[in-house]
Amino acid sequence: RGYNINDLCKHTSFMQTAYLLFNEQLPTPSQLQAFCQTEQENRNLPDTLYALFKDIPSHTHPMDVLKIGVSFLATQDTNNPLGHNHNTQTKAIALFAKIPTLVANSYRIMHDLPIHKPDPALSYAENFLSMILGKKTQDPEKTKLLDTSLILYAEHGFNASTFAARVTASTLSDYYSAITSAIGTLKGPLHGGANEKVMDLLAEMDAPEKAATIIRNKLAKKEKIMGFGHRLYRTGDSRVATIKALGYALAQKEDKTHLYNLGAIAEEIMINEKGIYPNLDFPAAMAYHLLDIPIPLYTPIFVASRLTGWSAHIIEQYQNNRLIRPGCLYTGPKPKIGRAHV
| Active centre residues (catalytic) | 230, 281
Instruction: Give me the amino acid identity at 167.
Output: V
d(CA 246, CA 287): 8
Phi, psi at 157, each rounded to 5°: 65, -150
Residue 32's contacts (CB-CB under 8 Å, 6 or more residues apart) are 15, 16, 19
In contact, 243 and 6? CB cutoff 8 Å: no
The strand pairing partners of 228, in sequence order, are: 278
CB atoms within 10 A of CB 127: 26
Smallest Cα–Cα separation from 89: which of 42, 157, 150? 42
Kindly state the helix (H) or strand (E) to which residue 80 belongs, with its residue range. Answer: none
DSSP secondary structure code for residue 277 in this structure: -
Instruction: Give me the amino acid identity at 301.
Output: I
**Torsion angle of alpha carbons 38, 124, 133, 156, nearest 10°?**
120
CB atoms within 10 A of CB 84: 18
In contact, 291 and 152? CB cutoff 8 Å: no
Smallest Cα–Cα separation from 19: which of 2, 31, 7? 31
The C-alpha angle 104, 101, 191, rounded to 5 degrees, equals 65
